Amino acid sequence: MQANARFLAAFDSKDLSTETFDLVIVGTGLAGLATAYYAQKAGKDKSILLISKARQSQINSTMAQGGICCALGKNDSWREHAKDTLAAGRGLCNEKAAKTLAREGVERIRELMNLGIQFDAGDTSLQLGLEGGHSKRRILHINGDRTGLGLSQFYLGLVRESRNCFRLPGTQAIDVLAKNGRYTGLLVETEGGFKVLKSSALVFASGGYSSLYAHTTNPVETIGEGASICYRAGLPLMDLEFEQFHPTTLSVEGAGNFLISEAVRGEGALLVNDSGKRFMAHEPLKELAPRDVVSRAVYAQLQAGRKVFLDARHLGARYAAQRFPFISERLREFGLSLARDLIPIEPAAHFSCGGIQTDLQARTPLKGVLAVGEAACNGLHGANRLASNSLLEAIVFGYRAAESALKEKPKASERFEVRASDGKGKADYGRLTQALRQRMWEKAGIMREERGLKELQAWVQAEWNALACGKTHEFFSTANLLQLSALITESALARKESRGGHYRLDYPEPRKELKRHSTLNRYGSQ
């Protein structure tokens, strides 16, 4: 592949079929569904298309267990929620974004309740849970530990009720078409081949990039393809070095890094090693310290040759099954029980704090292109996301993305003709992907240092240079994987400090002069 290729595929737009909509949304997770719902609600005559290469059951949002946070408690306020968000972000949060999330989150959640969504409740009030980094109980749940699934299904139901919302599964976004600083179309690959989707606005709600790592809680499709596509179009990417690793995933062969929700620790579960020692007891928030702190502590125990366990035996069988039905069901498949056993755990890549740079209205610098949810980065999470803010982010900024998208006007069509890039014949995409993910985990994972990052950088560049061009899903995904991995490595090398989800063994402390966001685009970095 060419070092700085603008497009991944050779095509002539005049030879391709075209479909036109008012709004195209890439991604059918919660952020995409919320954006579609709010857009069709405000613009009833607007045609909206949602595309996704993954099946709905493989969407990351549906797997979110912990809950969605909202300051609804009597002794809580949106200001307290914003304060906790800022504290978790290690000095890098966009304060306006944090306040927007917390304040408008209350409005959006109350609207959902009026629409009929059912959050878990006791006899007289909502059940509010506690998770790491929160000063108050403010976590709402649906069916115990199936909150992401419940919210996604609710919004999907609302979208299906609209006559103007259409879905096109099995469709992979390839590249953004743009002319003179304005988006003009999206090149996609469907089962029938290439086509161009034209619209007044394009929203990337395509998720993060946690599956660039060998150990991850995410579906395999979560590789940040929206970020790679936008980078090739000249858009800036922000804070890519800040990957959040979840400290408690099931460490059993065949479990696939199944996530055990932080809510379990919110109900009093402890972390112990194989000597029975609580290694988080010295932290002010103990087991409920922010995720970056807990993940590094678990990782350090494992690196020292110890095993690590989650001890939730105090919950009792009845309460554990009622409060965490999905987790309990999954553990039973491996002969384990929260109420009876110490649960072996290990950390895994979970959430991408960085992404496509946007403002608070979800707009990118390219007119007509927006991004929302985990695909986007407006500085909300800073260097580390506060637990259970991700689902709320999808809804709050999905609402704002819809507002912005409806203001965009259509642009006249432009012809694009792209010649094939050079390739050198290497096409074992499966082997390459597996090798890349393992190297990302080892060299750019929970603990990083310059030597390993430079080794990774050189390896990725060599594989990119040798990558054979193609016109298959496997080629496009592999090219995106390599490109984004190179950018993450570049960002991690440039930040010579440790902060939040980015920890450098050779620079173990934060530095005041680096208390700023990082950006990368095809034309340089900041």
Residues belonging to the active site: 291
3 state SS of 242:
coil
477: amino acid identity, one letter:
S
Encoded tokens for 358: 């946007």
Q: Are 198 and 252 in contact (CB under 8 A)?
A: no
Helix-, strand-, coil-residue percentages of the chain, each rounded to 5: 35, 20, 40
Longest dimension (CA), the chain: 68
Between the alpha carbon of residue 139 and those of residues 80, 212, 294, 389, the distances in Å are 13, 29, 20, 9
Residues 278 and 275: their CA atoms lie apart, in Å, by 9
Residues 432 and 479: their CA atoms lie apart, in Å, by 10
472: amino acid identity, one letter:
T
Count Cα atoms within 13 angstroms, Cβ side, for 16.
26
**Quick one: which of 405, 400, 347, 348 has its CA closest to 373?**
400
Encoded tokens for 399: 């609402």
**Residue 287 host element (H or E):** none
Q: Are 485 and 212 in contact (CB under 8 A)?
A: yes
75: amino acid identity, one letter:
N
Count of CB atoms within 10 A of residue 422's CB? 12
Q: Are 444 and 464 in contact (CB under 8 A)?
A: no
* Residue keyed to tokens 């290990």: 346
DSSP string, 2-48: -TT-S-SS-EEGGGSEEEEEEEEEE--SHHHHHHHHHHHHH-TT--E
Q: Are 178 and 366 in contact (CB under 8 A)?
A: yes
Q: Are 27 and 373 in contact (CB under 8 A)?
A: yes
Residues 213 and 438: their CA atoms lie apart, in Å, by 6
Count Cα atoms within 13 angstroms, Cβ side, for 516.
8
Contacts of 434 (CB under 8 A, 6+ apart): none
3 state SS of 365:
coil
Contacts of 345 (CB under 8 A, 6+ apart): 247, 248, 249, 250, 251, 260, 271, 298, 308, 309, 310
Q: Are 346 and 215 in contact (CB under 8 A)?
A: yes
Q: Are 160 and 169 in contact (CB under 8 A)?
A: no
Buried b (16+ CB within 10 A) or exposed e, 133-156: bbebbbbbbbebbbbbbbbbbbbb
